[in-house]
Amino acid sequence: MNRTPEVSIITPTYNRQQSLERAIRSVQQQTFDNYEHIIIDDCSTDDTQKFVWSLDDPRIRYIRFREWRGANPARNCGIGTARAEYLTFLDSDDEYLPERLETTLRHFREAPDVQLLLSSFHTVKRGRFANAINAGVYVSGPDLEHALMASAIYIAGSSISVKRETM
124-167 pLDDT, tens digit per residue, is: 777 877 776 767 766 677 777 877 787 777 777 788 899 999 87
Query: Is 132 strand, coil or helix?
Result: strand
C-alpha 8/C-alpha 79 separation (Å) is: 9
Provide the pLDDT confidence category of residue 118 given band limits of 50, 70 and 90.
Answer: confident
Helices (H), the chain: 17-28, 48-55, 71-81, 100-110, 141-149
pLDDT in tens, 24-79: 999 999 999 999 999 999 999 999 999 999 999 999 999 999 999 999 999 999 99
Exposed/middle/buried for residue 50 (C-beta within 10 Å: 0-12, 13-18, 19+): exposed
For the full predicted model, state whether its pTM sits above 0.85.
Answer: yes
Domains, the chain, in order of start with CATH, read: 7-111+157-166 (3.90.550.10)
Least Cα distance to 156 among 102, 95, 101, 98 occurs for: 95
- Who's near 86: CB < 8 A, 6+ residues apart? 6, 7, 8, 104, 105, 108, 161, 162, 163, 164
Non-local CB neighbours of 114 within 8 Å, separated by 6+ positions = 107, 108, 138, 163
26, 121, 122, 133, 146 from 150: Cα distances, Å = 31, 18, 20, 15, 6
Which residues, in sequence order, are CB contacts of 16 under 8 Å at separation 6+?
44, 46, 48, 92, 93
